[in-house]
Structure 1
Amino acid sequence: MTVRFSSSAPPGRGGARRAAVRSAVAGRTVALAAVGLVLVLMALMALMALVIVRLPWVGDLGMHAATLQRLRHSPLDPGNPLVDADTPSPYYSPWMLLLGTVARIPGLSVFVVLRLAAVAGLALLVTGVWRYVRTLSAHRAAPALALLSLLLLWGTTPFLWSGFPGLHSLALTVSYPSTFALGLAFHFWAWLAGALRREAGWPVWLGLGVLWGVILLCHQFSGVVATVGAVATVLAAGRDGRAVWPRLGAGQVVGAVVLWVWPYYDFFALFGAAGDGLDAVHRGLYGHPVARYGLVLLGVAALVPRWWRDRWDPLVLFAGLGVAVVGAGWVSGHYSWGRALPAVMIPAQLAVALEVVGAARRGVRAGWAVLLAGALLVGGWGQVGVLGYVVPRGGLPAVVEDRYREPWAGYQWITPWVRYGDVVMAEGRAARQVPAYGPYTVAPGYPDFFLSDEERRVAVTEVYFGERTPSSVRRGIEREYGVRWVVGGSGGLDDGGLRVVARGSEGQVLYAVP
């Protein structure tokens, strides 16, 4: 009996050939997916570049512009950035000092310098994420997917807060020191992981200590996140890290010295600032968690298999420590500790991106990919209002326009009359914006831990704008604080002693003080 095969090749060879074809197809699919991720990421980065050109004004932009104004005019003794008082300020960081030096170049306004800061901060953030993710995965698509997760995997409601790297938040805070500090934090974690892996020498550890101190000085809350991530990285090294503990301790000492010798403010005095209104300001961080952070639950689910594979996984430890800090803030009423929320969000966002490219079974990877793609689409739609910062409002579809948040109008209309160093009586949003152009206000537009008479200044401002306040009382306040100008609301001030000088686009009035 003769047995004939349908092919002249041995039976096993066909199976191997089919396996090779499947492998090649899978390889091409991964390559195409990686290219697609990079293209989407490039589109988002182009969007951010256009946002930087517009530099929408909202939030704390006025504070950072005012800080640059003071450093540009007096880099060695800038005084309080908002009021005419000789006090230190935590806003005088190494990064802002460098930007203030750049602002001294003739022809550069502080807003041009803030745009340069935005470009530098965004570049530092992107490259930092890329480097740090490379310490966790060698897959070529991992960094791009991690960046997309950081930008879009938040919630269904746009959320704005400095130090939170969501797309909508970055669109309005990319020029802030928090973006620069967070970018440094990612580079810090990558450098630290590499130092632990190869048992680096003393210079590397001392340099890490300096970098840690600089991050804390530039943005204290992002410094806390950087510290939590660093602790998780060291703990994940386990026994292998014990050999470098003396060098790690030396780096911590160097970082503490950097904090101690910084001449512009006392870093360690900030530990007593939590009760000075900061907790009330930050209570909102704990509100509406599902709408603001709900999509990160997918990342939390991705942390479970990582924990199952390795109880000392760095991302699992990172998220666990972050939950401990944020939870302690909620239980104790220290709501300012909620600024450590990125220490919970970042590791979860990175974890789901890494599961998509690193899960052991192909079907599991595909499942994670489908779930993450859906979450990214939902998160992107939740932040689609950011298009309004680069597209004229009339050109937006109605559904997008509903999600767009109108930026503030500026106060450049007062600059033909109000000069640098003049004192302006203002309240509310005006007090947060006017110092950006060089003048001072009587009461600071932001809580100021180092300003001893802050409460009195706030009370005096309320009295000044009171409807029944006599003109004689207003004249006394003007003399006490050297007020030369008043910015009043559209309703005007019933005071015959004030002279109307100009009106802004929103109906506000600039008055000259007699």
Structure 2
Amino acid sequence: MSRTAQPGGARAGRVLPQAAAALVLVLLLLVVVRLPWAGDLGMHAATIQRLRHSLPHPGNPLVDADTPSPYYSPWMLLLGSLARLTGLSVFVILRMGALVGLGLLVTGVWRYVRTLSGHRAAPALALLSLVFLWGTVAFNWSGFLGLNSLALTVSYPSVFALGLTFHFWAWLTRTVGGEAGWGRWLSLGTLWALILLCHQFTGVVASLGALAVLISARPGRVVLARLGAALAFAAVLLWLWPYYDFFALFSASADLEAIHQPLYQDLMGRFGLVLLGVVALALRARRDRRDPLVLFFVLGALVFAAGGLTGHYSWGRALPAALIPAQIAAALEAVSAGRRAVRAGWACALLVALAVGAWAQAGTLGYVVKRSALPGAVAAKYRTPWVGYQWITPWVKYGDVVMARTYASRQIPAYGPYTVAPGYPDVFLPDAGRRETAMERYFAAGTSVQDRRGILREYRVQWVVGGRSTAGPGLHRVAAGPDGQVLYRVEP
């Protein structure tokens, strides 16, 4: 009986994770159709808008200023060119980009995990761990692979860069252990530069993972020489990129600290389930102190901790460098732990943790199913995405300048207009602080009509989006939007 049961049990152990991973992939594909709007989607849509109108000189994506922007990456340049050639809506282009990014991510995880384990269920278990092994509180941030976060950011350059990163690690692992020629190493350098240009924070994670691979492999002189050439070639590519000065970003982190401080809050609630992976890493370290996942985790944890201790909160974006190896280690332990009983026990622990993590992110179902169709407990976890500002587009045209508060300024440029103040920190916009102050002063209750008119003239504002209380001399009400918002035309 046991001999006939074992193959069936082994087969189930392979098929069930693969089926679950396939369901997650189907869910994400359905999410791409809806493309729920939150966070930085407006920024990326605005970037494509500027590139479709002018590939060589797109200018600032958010405000009417001729400045560079780190959002003009090779990937966005490709999407902007596609939008220019086809005439398709930027949101259609973003959906196409989401499909490419998702495909790269899934195949990249599969390839990278294959370098760590030959078990057929390992890639599927790793994918499930990457999206569910987080915490009991849903957490959303670009560059982080939780299911809910991934659903909201699937069209972002960060997902594309993460997909490339997993392929990069897989390729590097195989290259450093073989006798690859100069061409392959220079190709790796090109890929590394591409990741850094497309999403700088993911580039840091990619670099830490690559460093772990190299330390683990202990390469010889020949490999080190070719590695040095690859790094030098990548540095040249970064220096030659014409749309922004990559190396200037190293002096710009001070402008990003405040918005990244939340990364250091409620760590147990957001990431508590990853402790299972930390235990798995400890077991791997006992077996091999140079295990690449262990080294990767240590490097990521050190950078994250250093950011918290020194107040450089933007360093918290390196946290995936600690989370990813722990999540993958938890999955691998379920298929590679010593005895069968140990593997079974570990698989049960992982299953419970994944179930808890999936329940915490169950609100993601609301992005593909109407909230009214969800069970009450699941519907309570759903968070309504942003509505958008399509309602202003019959009147506000491409290139018009709109005075709006920060929340609206994160969405309006997606349709082609500019705003007075950028909705996000802009390290290359020298008067960003002055613009922010002007916006706040305009909407302040005590500001005089003359001051408001002066601000509108200074920034050549043609439209104002505000509430009913925003009405005043020189403003003509044109349209009403959701939540009591009103579009006003600025009269000459």
Q: Tell me the TM-score normalised to structure 2 length.
A: 0.98
- Matched with 2:382 is 404
Instruction: Give the letter aligned to residue 244 of structure 1.
Output: V
1:124 to 104, 119, 129: 104
- Matched with 1:304 is 282
Task: Check conservation: 1:467, 1:494, Cα contact below 8 A.
Answer: no
- The answer to whether structure 1 residue 55 and structure 2 residue 35 are counterparts is yes
1:271 to 226, 243, 250: 250
- Matched with 1:91 is 71
- The answer to whether structure 1 residue 316 and structure 2 residue 294 are counterparts is yes
Counting aligned pairs with the same residue, the percent is 64
Q: CA deviation at 1:169?
A: 0.3
Q: Distance in 2 between matches of 1:181 and 1:395?
A: 35
CA RMSD of the aligned region, Å? 1.0
- Matched with 1:507 is 484
1:230 to 210, 221, 227: 210
Instruction: Give the letter aligned to residue 483 of structure 2.
Output: E
Q: CA deviation at 1:426?
A: 0.6
1:375 to 337, 353, 356: 353
2:364 to 386, 402, 413: 386
Q: Which digits, 9 at most, give the CA deviation of each residue in 1:41-92, with x for residues without a partner? A: 1111111111111111110000000000000000110000000000000000
Q: CA deviation at 1:27?
A: 2.9
Deviates more, 1:221-230 or 1:394-403: 394-403
Task: Check conservation: 2:196, 2:202, Cα contact below 8 A.
Answer: yes
Q: How does 1:62-461 map to 2 (within 5 A)?
A: 62-238=42-218, 240-276=219-255, 278-461=256-439
Q: CA deviation at 1:473?
A: 1.5
- Matched with 1:17 is none
Instruction: Give the letter aligned to residue 97 of structure 1.
Output: L
SS at match of 2:484: coil
Q: CA deviation at 1:479?
A: 1.3
Q: Which digits, 9 at most, give the CA deviation of each residue in 1:376-400, with x for residues without a partner? A: 0000000000011111111111111
SS at match of 2:138: coil
SS at match of 1:233: helix
Q: Which digits, 9 at most, give the CA deviation of each residue in 1:313-349, with x for residues without a partner? A: 0000000000111011011110000000100000000
Task: Check conservation: 1:146, 1:350, Cα contact below 8 A.
Answer: yes
SS at match of 1:92: coil
Q: Distance in 2 between matches of 1:28 and 1:119?
A: 35
1:488 to 460, 466, 470: 466
Task: Check conservation: 1:196, 1:241, Cα contact below 8 A.
Answer: no
Q: Which digits, 9 at most, give the CA deviation of each residue in 1:345-381, with x for residues without a partner? A: 0000000111111112111111110100000000000
Instruction: Give the letter aligned to residue 377 of structure 2.
Output: V
Q: CA deviation at 1:241?
A: 4.4
- Matched with 1:467 is 445
SS at match of 1:58: coil
SS at match of 1:198: coil
Q: Distance in 2 between matches of 1:315 and 1:69?
A: 40
Q: Distance in 2 between matches of 1:364 and 1:464?
A: 65
SS at match of 1:80: coil
Q: Which digits, 9 at most, give the CA deviation of each residue in 1:462-500, with x for residues without a partner? A: 1111122222212211111110000003x4314122000
2:15 to 16, 30, 35: 35
Q: Distance in 1 between matches of 2:236 and 2:347?
A: 46
Q: Distance in 1 between matches of 2:269 and 2:197?
A: 32
Q: Distance in 2 between matches of 1:471 and 1:205?
A: 63
Q: CA deviation at 1:242?
A: 4.3
Instruction: Give the letter aligned to residue 511 of structure 1.
Output: Y
Q: 1:424 to 1:208 in 2, by over 3 A?
A: same
Q: Distance in 2 between matches of 1:92 and 1:43?
A: 34
Q: Distance in 1 between matches of 2:32 and 2:278?
A: 32
Instruction: Give the letter aligned to residue 166 of structure 1.
Output: G
Q: CA deviation at 1:28?
A: 2.5
Task: Provide structure 1 residue ranges, at least 5 long, that are not aligned to the other structure.
Answer: 1-20
SS at match of 1:502: strand
Instruction: Give the letter aligned to residue 292 of structure 1.
Output: R
Q: Tell me the TM-score normalised to structure 1 length.
A: 0.94
Instruction: Give the letter aligned to residue 450 of structure 1.
Output: F
Q: CA deviation at 1:243?
A: 3.5
Q: CA deviation at 1:23?
A: 5.1
Q: CA deviation at 1:155?
A: 0.4
Task: Check conservation: 1:234, 1:241, Cα contact below 8 A.
Answer: no
Q: 1:23 to 1:280 in 2, by over 3 A?
A: farther
Instruction: Give the letter aligned to residue 488 of structure 1.
Output: G
Instruction: Give the letter aligned to residue 145 of structure 1.
Output: L
SS at match of 1:492: helix
Q: Distance in 2 between matches of 1:441 and 1:429?
A: 11
Q: Which digits, 9 at most, give the CA deviation of each residue in 1:202-222, with x for residues without a partner? A: 100000000000000000000
Deviates more, 1:241-250 or 1:122-131: 241-250
Instruction: Give the letter aligned to residue 502 of structure 1.
Output: A
Q: Distance in 2 between matches of 1:23 and 1:326?
A: 49
Q: Distance in 1 between matches of 2:195 and 2:112?
A: 16
Q: CA deviation at 1:35?
A: 1.1
Give the number of aligned pairs: 491
SS at match of 1:104: helix
SS at match of 1:495: coil
